[in-house]
Amino acid sequence: MVHPDQQEAPPTMAHHRNETRPFRRWPRLARSLVAYAWAAPCSLLGLLLGVGALACRGRAEVVRGVLEVAIARPGTAACARAGRLPFGAITFGHVVVGASGDALTALREHERAHVRQYECWGPVFLVAYPLSSLFQALRGRHPYRDNHFEVHARATDSLPV
């Protein structure tokens, strides 16, 4: 209760911002759990791909909350075959599958940008990404290089354009 001689201060702009974006006030753990849950259907696809890689003697490790699976170990025949894949690494939710450990290390920041995109878009990302490629192709542009999500991911890392 406010004393009659005192007036209640109007809400500050910071107060207003917090009211319009309550998600920012959540504790970090709650935000992380929501992000993992929202991306979980996509992560499941990555796990299925990762299990196949592990069955072919690949390796897996968790790096900063993301499961990284290397399809092949250096110096193996599988590694030579993995080098012919059309990608160095591919991300599904919180799972990154790479041709090798070296590829995972080199592409880590780029793939982390895709992890953040999955956290924002969730399962919709599985449709939005190919639609962005199709849109670019219909415009006569490169479907991978000019894909909105790839452009954004490159902007957050040091990969050449």
Give the closest residue to 69 by CA, choosing from 77, 57, 85: 57
Q: What is the pLDDT of residue 161?
A: 46
- Spatial distance between the Cα atoms of 46 and 64, rounded to a whole number of angstroms: 17
Provide the pLDDT confidence category of residue 111 given band limits of 50, 70 and 90. very high
130 within domain boundaries: yes
Q: Mean pLDDT throughout 112-119? A: 96
Q: How far is CA 143 from CA 4, 116, 128, 135, 146, in A?
A: 66, 21, 13, 8, 6
4 within domain boundaries: no
Structural domain that includes position 31? 23-155
Q: Identify residue 30 by its one-letter amino acid code.
A: A
Q: Each residue of 23-51: pLDDT tens digit? A: 666 688 888 899 999 999 999 999 999 99
9 within domain boundaries: no
- Contact between 67 and 38 under an 8 Å Cβ cutoff? The reply is no
- Spatial distance between the Cα atoms of 115 and 119, rounded to a whole number of angstroms: 6
2 within domain boundaries: no
| Mean pLDDT over each residue of the chain, to the nearest integer | 83
160 within domain boundaries: no
Q: Each residue of 53-101: pLDDT tens digit? A: 888 788 999 999 999 999 876 555 555 555 567 788 999 999 999 998 9
Q: Mean pLDDT throughout 10-35? A: 65
Percent of the chain with pLDDT over 70: 74
The CA angle 90-38-68, to the nearest 5 degrees, is: 30
Query: For the chain, what is the domain count?
Result: 1
Q: Residue 1 is encoded by which pair of tokens? A: 């209760």
64 within domain boundaries: yes
The CA angle 94-98-104, to the nearest 5 degrees, is: 85
3 within domain boundaries: no
132 within domain boundaries: yes
